[in-house]
């Protein structure tokens, strides 16, 4: 097999604005995905800061109640649909073809369409929100929460055009992510390098395969529900009239529970890539991790009713969904232990990417446990819609997905930019983010147990909620500082970062055989693969050692 | 739970919490312990270290599949057992506190038979107030529900608009109140003051949709109920601004939507401040600001301005008189 190291031909990176707009190159599209979703992350984060300011003490009126409702609606929608889901798609765009040794995705033009649909929908939704604040959009933006339950979201109770804009935006985002999913599935199926048999597929690629399959099954249901609501609002149809208001909840959660896995599986994939590299060991129980990922993908479709335990569903049905929800903890636990035993006995290098993964492991476990607790119907009757739930899903989505995404940034940005990020700044970033995160969200468990409901714009001082809320607000600003440090780190690395070289981390997967950034068509010679760690094999061969680890599974 | 449980169901929930906390805490310590231990013990000491290349271990995989599965099974058992014993869900004739169709006579009858109760109170949730109607229909209340202590009470809950949920953290279970349906809550609590609030996001002033329960010893409750019944048929005295202010700020929830500078009323649901209300030409920009119109407005805002966000608060004639007197002092 040829050694793949050709001089960087990075001029495709320099061809001006038009070059970017017209590109169908998966790497450029990936970069634009990452950049635009990061902007949406900052916007949703700013909204979270306003939310936290308003709740810092009882009775504050920093924004009025209607604006507060718009803020948490857009915060939630933005974080989920405009940041977490598409940001992970951005990583997949850039790295899935590289990791499987392909020159691009299967349908490059479709890929560009997904990107521009995302950007367009994001601009429309955030734009609608800003217009609302400026008073240019009568009635303001959507303020019915990201769940948009009927009848609150129908024409009678939410007459504003902002609600329709929101619905249309989410439809467009659904189309964008469906197109992306088709693309990834076909790419991973047809374009893998020679020798990349099923058990040699990198973990991140596996995660994207399962995620894409979930997107294909779940998204059409959400899109249908949104279209039906748009019709109800504008063409006097009666899909979600009083007699079947619960239908919306079923359709919404049939998508939105799997959406949790659509957000967490790729992040788990990133973690499964990084842990072996930074502990110099193979992933423990690779097959078990893959099978668990697939099982989570399947079981993820059997649990949606756990969001409806108090909305009046048949009791036998409820018990069934309680059990299925709890069962998901088993494959999740299997993954957890395999990660822990990947670290065990390794040679652990505490660089920022690994730290972010430890952030993932240490906080995601709390989200997992609180999830099982909530799945118990009697406890859910007490916890539903309280701040406990807000704590739980931030432990999963922030503690899980966002730490995974930042691990991905620190691990892969050097491949994209060709320059390393500063590791000391990275460590400060990690420490502030981890502490800030726990300060923000841990007290919310206790607030929930004290009976504080979510989605309230203010509260009075006689409920005992002051201290927890104050701590949460302080934590939120620590997170904000940590994100600023990340941005400073990124900018300084572009200016004067150390050159990354092809393989700064002693990586395992094929993206580390090519230059950083990779040339236009990724590889001069298409690589071939003999184990699940092809780049390690190359390294060992170059050092004159036999590729010992190419143990066949 | 951090709210002391006051009812039977809340105590059951609390016990189940106790069990799962202990189990979760063990798993939590195990995982965090493994992370910390590995990071310290196995951190890289020499740049050229090559650890043993362990690919996995089938026995371990089976172990950490079976063990969590067993824990899940046991916890599921506990949860089903608790459900079976809860007042809110357990009764075999009536496993769910919910009737899907308000006209389903058979289901309504089964609810009646499900449990002996001492008092049934009708609850209506509307944007953004809970309203209560006592048997007989003459006595009504907003926000604060007054009940006899140590008696079994059933609330028959409906909604006038969107989904709400009446919830007292100290009583345990909550249930959505859906359009076109009836939901039920049973409780039996010792004397005391309890507070909770609407648990389903229901629009602009969701945060103000507070509910309170005051459980009085039986004789005190009876006395209160007598007074209320008398109050309805009694003669209406001339309005007293002082009493009106008290209603506005304390007894009722006007303060939560309206702003009057220099008072606790700082709500921002109503578009105009009431600080100088007496100087306005109109009420709600539809009718001239006269005492008579104001009475009608307070009696039933929807009748004056259909679709307005101001709810009908079921004010009694005397309360209206006092409020009018108070509002007319605002200049
Ligand atoms: C749930 C919120 C809410 C509550 C509670 C509430 N109001 Fe209102 N009120 C409103 C709104 C909204 C308006 C404006 C109505 C409109 O213009 O459609 C209003 C209008 C009024 C007006 C006319 C003000 C004007 O600008 O012309 C008066 C007077 C008034 N309310 C008195 C009261 C009193 C007295 C109470 C307590 C018994 C009360 N309100 C409780 C929401 C509320
Ligand atoms: C930057 C740090 C963050 C802070 C300080 C924060 C804070 C909050 C708070 C306080 C709420 C509750 C608002 C309310 O119920 O009144 C909330 C809601 C929410 N957050 Fe976050 N959040 C952060 C990051 C995230 C991330 C990364 C995600 C997802 C990936 C996320 C997703 C959501 C969702 C879905 C909601 C629910 C919105 C709704 O109720 O409709 N948040 N956030
Ligand atoms: Cu779910
Ligand atoms: Cu509410």
pLDDT in tens, A268-292: 999 999 999 999 999 999 999 999 9
Residue A16's pLDDT band, with cuts at 50, 70 and 90, is confident
Yes or no, beta carbons of A458 and B207 under 8 Å apart: yes
- Residue B54: inside a domain: no
CA distance A395 to A246: 28
- Which tokens belong to A395? 């432990």
Q: How confident is the model at residue B269 (pLDDT cuts 50, 70, 90)?
A: confident
Task: Give the integer Cα–Cα distance in Å for A464 and A447.
Answer: 9
Q: Is A455 in the pocket of ligand 2 (CB under 6 A)?
A: yes
Residues 6+ apart with CB under 8 A from B73: none
Q: 3-class SS at A226?
A: helix
Pocket flag, ligand 2, residue A390 (CB < 6 Å) = yes
> Does residue A11 surpass a pLDDT of 60?
no
Judged on CB neighbours under 10 Å (0-12, 13-18, 19+), A129 is: buried
Q: Please check whether residues B185 and B118 belong to one and the same domain.
A: yes
In degrees and rounded to multiples of 5, residue B130 shows phi and psi of -95, 130
Q: Across the interface, which of A157, A311, A454 has its CB nearest the CB of B203?
A: A157
Q: Token digits for B163?
A: 């989904």
Cα gap A143→A67, rounded to integer Å: 8
B82 shares its domain with B134: no
Sign of the dihedral defined by the CA atoms of residues B196, A447, A62, A73, in that order: negative
Both B71 and B145 in a single domain? no
Q: Say if residues A493 and A80 touch (Cβ distance below 8 Å).
A: no
Task: Please determine, for residue A4, whether its predicted confidence score (pLDDT) is greater than 50.
Answer: no
Cβ contacts of B202 within 8 Å, gap of 6 or more: A152, B125, B127, B128, B161, B162, B163, B164, B209
Confidence of residue B234 (pLDDT cuts 50, 70, 90): low
How would you write A457-476 as a 3-class SS string? CCCCHHHCCHHHHHHHHHHH
Residue B135 lies in a domain: yes
- 8 A C-beta contact, residue A392 and residue A370: yes
The two three-digit tokens of residue B329, written as one number = 């002092």
Phi, psi dihedral angles at A208 (to 5 degrees): -70, -35
Closest CA to B43 of A274, A279, A336: A279
B43 is a domain residue: no
Contacts of A360 in chain B (CB under 8 A): none
Ligand nearest the Cα atom of residue B131 = 1
B203: left (phi over 0), alpha (psi -120 to 50) or beta: left
Query: Which residues in chain B are closer than 8 Å to A338, comparing Cβ atoms?
Result: 56, 61
Atom nearest to A401 CA in ligand 2: 30
Which residue has better confidence, B269 or A432? A432
Q: What is the mean pLDDT of chain B?
A: 87
**Interface pTM (ipTM) of the complex?**
0.90
DSSP assignment letter at A398: I
From residue B150, alpha-carbon distances to B81, B141, B190, B216, B224 in Å are: 25, 21, 5, 9, 17
What does A70-125 look like in DSSP terms, one character per residue? HHHHHHHHIIIIIIIHHHHHHHHHHHHHHHTT-SS-S-HHHHHHHHHHHHHHHHHH
**First-to-last C-alpha distance (Å) of chain B:** 48
How much is the pLDDT for A551? 45
Helices (H), chain B: 8-41, 58-85, 105-114, 218-233, 241-246, 254-257, 291-299, 301-304, 317-327
Q: Which of A65, A358, A386 sits opposite B205 (nearest CB)?
A: A65
Q: Let me know if residue B53 belongs to a domain.
A: no
User: Any idea what the CATH number is for the domain that residue B313 is in?
Assistant: 2.60.40.420
Identify the pLDDT of residue A13.
54
User: Once rounded to an integer, what is the mean pLDDT over residues B255-273?
Assistant: 83
Atom 34 (ligand 1) nearest CA:
B254
Average pLDDT over residues A192-213: 95
C-alpha of B175 from chain center: 9
What is the rounded distance in angstroms from the CA atom of residue A123 to the CA atom of residue B217? 60
- pLDDT score for B2: 79
Tens digits of residue pLDDT in A439-468: 999 999 999 999 999 999 999 899 999 999
Residues B209, B128 contacting (CB under 8 angstroms): yes
Residue A52 has pLDDT above 50, yes or no: yes
> From the list A370, A376, A446, which residue is nearest B75 (CB)?
A376
The mean pLDDT value for A416-444 works out to 97
Contact: A330, B65; criterion CB under 8 Å: yes
Closest CA to A369 of A410, A338, A336: A336
Is pLDDT of B312 > 90? no
Give how far A72 is from chain B: nearest CA, Å: 12
Q: What are phi and psi of A93, to 5 degrees?
A: -55, -45
B120 and B163 in one domain? yes
**First CA to last CA across chain A, in angstroms?**
21
Count, residues in chain A: 553
Question: With 50 as the cut, is the pLDDT of residue B124 above it?
Answer: yes
Beta bridge partners of B121: B155
- For residue B39, pLDDT beyond 50: yes
If you average pLDDT over residues B75-93, what whole number do you get?
Answer: 78
Alpha carbons B124 and A491: distance in angstroms, whole number: 57
Map residue B86 onto helix, strand or coil: coil
pLDDT reading at A474 higher than 80: yes
| Residues B104 and B217 reside in one and the same domain | yes
Q: Do B39 and A350 touch (CB under 8 A)?
A: yes
d(CA B229, CA B234): 9
Q: Which of B54, B86, B118 is the last residue of a domain?
A: B86
Of B206, B228, B250, the residue that ends a domain is B228
Q: What confidence category does residue A23 fall into, taking pLDDT thresholds of 50, 70 and 90? A: confident
- pLDDT-based confidence at residue A14 (cuts at 50, 70, 90): low
Stretch A242-267: mean pLDDT, rounded? 92
In a domain? residue B44: no
Q: Are residues B220 and B250 in the same domain?
A: no
Q: Do A456 and B207 touch (CB under 8 A)?
A: yes
B103 and B221 share a domain?
A: yes
B28 and B141 fall within a common domain: no
B168 with B216, same domain: the answer is yes
Residue B47 lies in a domain: no
**Residue B140 β-bridge partners:** B133
Domain shared by B195 and B123, yes or no? yes
Instruction: Classify residue B32: in a domain, yes or no.
Output: yes
- Contact (CB<8Å) A349/B44: yes
List of chain A residues whose C-beta atoms are within 8 Å of the C-beta of residue B202: 152
* Ligand 2 contact, A447 CB (< 6 A): no
The residue out of B204, B228, B252 marking a domain boundary is B228
Distance CA A466, CA A413 (A): 41
User: Cα-flanking dihedrals φ and ψ of residue B184, to 5°?
Assistant: -130, 145
- The 10s digit of each residue's pLDDT in A504-539 is 999 999 999 999 999 988 988 888 888 889 889 888
What pLDDT score was predicted for residue A552? Answer: 42
Rounded-to-integer distance, Cα B93 and Cα B95, Å: 6
CA-to-CA distance for A329 and B69, rounded, in angstroms? 8
pLDDT of residue B110: 74
Q: Tell me: the pLDDT tens digits for A112-164?
A: 999 999 999 999 999 999 998 888 888 889 999 999 999 999 988 898 999 99
B4 and B80 assigned to the same domain: yes
Question: How many whole angstroms from its chain centre is CA B171?
Answer: 10
Tokens of A333: 């636990």
Number of domains present in the structure of chain B:
3
What is the domain range of residue B197?
98-228
Q: What is the pLDDT of residue B302?
A: 87
Domains of chain A: 23-521+528-542 (1.20.210.10)
Q: Is A329's CB within 8 Å of B44's CB?
A: no
pLDDT of residue A15: 66
Segment A431-441 shows an average pLDDT of 98
The strand pairing partners of B119, in sequence order, are B153
Instruction: Collect all residues of chain A within an 8 Å Cβ-Cβ radius of residue B195.
Output: 451, 463
Q: Are strands B182-187 and B153-159 parallel, antiparallel or unpaired?
A: antiparallel
Is pLDDT of A93 > 50?
A: yes
Question: CA quadruple A77, A79, A84, A90: dihedral positive or negative?
Answer: positive
Lowest mean pLDDT, pick from A81-95, A231-245, B53-67, B90-104: B90-104
Tokens of A306: 């756990």
Whether B20 shows a pLDDT value over 50: the answer reads yes
Task: Point out the least confidently predicted range of A70-74, A310-314, A387-391, A493-497.
Answer: A310-314
pLDDT for the residue numbered B126: 87
pLDDT at B5 over 50: yes
Q: Sign of dihedral through CA atoms A195, A197, A202, A206?
A: positive
B-chain CB neighbours of A349 within 8 Å are 43-44
To the nearest whole Å, the CA of B324 is away from the closest chain A CA by 27
User: A85 to chain B nearest CA, in Å?
Assistant: 25
pLDDT for position A508: 94
- B194, two tokens: 């309890």
Based on the domain organization, do B25 and B79 belong to the same domain? yes
Average pLDDT of B15-31?
95
Q: Give the number of other Cβ atoms within 10 Å of residue B285's Cβ.
A: 10
Is the residue at B123 inside a domain? Answer: yes
The label of the residue with tokens 């900052």 reads A42
């Amino acid at each position: 097999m040829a050694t793949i190291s050709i001089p960087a031909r990075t001029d495709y990176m320099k061809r001006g604005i038009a070059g970017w707009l017209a590109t169908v190159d998966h790497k450029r599209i990936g970069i634009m995905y990452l950049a635009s979703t990061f902007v949406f992350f900052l916007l949703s984060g700013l909204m979270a800061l306003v939310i936290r300011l308003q709740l810092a003490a009882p009775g504050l009126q920093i924004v009025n109640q209607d604006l507060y409702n718009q803020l948490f609606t857009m915060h939630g929608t933005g974080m989920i649909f405009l940041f977490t889901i598409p940001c992970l798609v951005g990583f997949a765009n850039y790295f899935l073809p590289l990791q499987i040794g392909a020159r691009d995705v299967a349908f490059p033009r479709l890929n560009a369409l997904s990107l521009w649909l995302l950007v367009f929908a994001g601009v429309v939704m955030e734009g609608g929100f800003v217009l609302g604040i400026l008073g240019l959009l009568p009635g303001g933006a959507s303020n019915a929460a990201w769940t948009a339950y009927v009848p609150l979201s129908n024409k009678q109770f939410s007459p504003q055009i902002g609600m329709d804009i929101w619905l249309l935006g989410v439809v467009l985002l659904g189309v964008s992510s469906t197109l992306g999913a088709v693309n990834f599935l076909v790419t991973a199926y047809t374009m893998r390098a020679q020798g990349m048999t099923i058990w040699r597929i990198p973990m991140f690629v596996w995660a994207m395969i399962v995620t894409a399959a979930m997107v294909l099954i779940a998204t059409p249901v959400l899109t249908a529900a949104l279209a039906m609501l748009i019709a109800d609002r504008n063409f006097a149809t009666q899909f979600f009239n009083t007699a079947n208001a619960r239908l919306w909840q079923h359709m919404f959660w049939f998508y939105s529970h799997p959406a949790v896995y659509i957000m967490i599986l790729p992040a788990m994939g990133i973690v499964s890539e990084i842990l072996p590299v930074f502990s110099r060991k193979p992933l423990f129980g690779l097959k078990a991790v893959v099978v668990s990922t697939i099982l989570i993908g399947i079981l993820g479709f059997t649990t949606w009713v756990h969001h409806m335990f108090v909305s009046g569903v048949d009791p036998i049905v409820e018990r069934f969904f309680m059990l299925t929800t709890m069962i998901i903890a088993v494959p999740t636990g299997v993954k957890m232990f395999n990660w822990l035993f990947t670290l065990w006995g390794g040679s652990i290098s505490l660089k920022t990417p690994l730290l972010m993964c430890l952030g993932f492991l240490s906080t995601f476990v709390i989200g997992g446990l609180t999830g099982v607790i909530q799945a118990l119907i009697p406890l859910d009757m007490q916890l539903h819609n309280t701040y406990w739930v807000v704590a739980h899903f931030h432990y999963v989505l922030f503690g899980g997905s966002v730490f995974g995404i930042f691990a991905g940034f620190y691990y892969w940005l050097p491949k994209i930019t060709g320059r390393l990020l500063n590791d000391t700044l990275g460590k400060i970033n990690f420490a502030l983010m981890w502490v800030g995160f726990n300060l923000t969200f841990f007290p919310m468990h206790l607030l929930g147990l004290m009976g504080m409901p979510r989605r309230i714009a203010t509260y009075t001082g006689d409920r005992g909620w002051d201290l927890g809320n104050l701590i949460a607000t302080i934590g939120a600003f620590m997170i904000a500082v940590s994100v600023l440090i990340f941005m400073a780190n990124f900018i300084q690395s572009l200016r004067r970062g150390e050159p990354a070289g092809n393989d700064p981390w002693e990586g395992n997967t094929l993206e580390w055989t090519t230059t950083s950034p990779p040339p236009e068509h990724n590889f001069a010679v298409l690589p071939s693969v003999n184990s699940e760690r092809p780049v390690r094999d190359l390294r060992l061969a170059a050092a004159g050692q036999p590729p010992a680890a190419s143990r066949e599974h | 739970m951090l709210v002391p449980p006051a009812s039977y169901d809340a105590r059951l929930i609390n016990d189940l919490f106790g069990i799962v906390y202990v189990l979760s805490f063990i798993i939590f310590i195990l995982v965090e312990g493994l992370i910390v231990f590995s990071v310290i013990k196995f951190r890289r000491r020499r740049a050229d270290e090559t650890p043993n290349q362990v690919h996995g271990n089938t026995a371990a995989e089976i172990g950490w599949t079976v063990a969590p599965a067993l824990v899940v099974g046991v916890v599921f058992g506990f949860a089903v057992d608790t459900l079976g014993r809860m007042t809110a869900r357990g009764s075999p004739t009536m496993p769910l506190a919910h009737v899907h169709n308000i006209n389903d006579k058979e289901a309504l009858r089964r609810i009646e038979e499900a449990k002996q109760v001492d008092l049934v109170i009708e609850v209506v949730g509307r944007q953004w107030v809970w309203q209560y109607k006592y048997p007989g229909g003459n006595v009504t209340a907003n926000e604060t529900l007054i009940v006899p202590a140590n008696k079994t009470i059933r609330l028959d809950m409906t909604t006038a608009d969107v989904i709400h949920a009446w919830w007292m953290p100290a009583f345990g279970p909550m249930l959505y109140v859906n359009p076109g349906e009836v939901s039920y809550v049973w409780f039996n609590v010792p004397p005391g003051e309890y507070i909770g609030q609407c648990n389903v996001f229901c629009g602009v002033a969701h945060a103000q949709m507070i509910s309170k329960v005051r459980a009085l010893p039986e004789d005190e409750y009876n006395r209160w109920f007598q007074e209320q019944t008398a109050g309805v048929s009694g003669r209406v005295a001339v309005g007293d601004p002082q009493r009106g202010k008290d209603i506005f700020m304390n007894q009722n929830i006007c303060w939560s939507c309206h702003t009057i500078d220099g008072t606790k009323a700082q709500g921002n649901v109503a578009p105009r401040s009431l600080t100088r209300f007496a100087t306005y030409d109109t009420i709600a920009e539809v009718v001239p600001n006269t005492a008579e119109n104001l009475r009608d407005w307070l009696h039933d805002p929807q009748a004056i301005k259909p679709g307005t966000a101001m709810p009908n608060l079921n004010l009694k004639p005397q309360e209206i008189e006092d409020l009018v007197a108070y509002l007319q002092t605002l200049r």
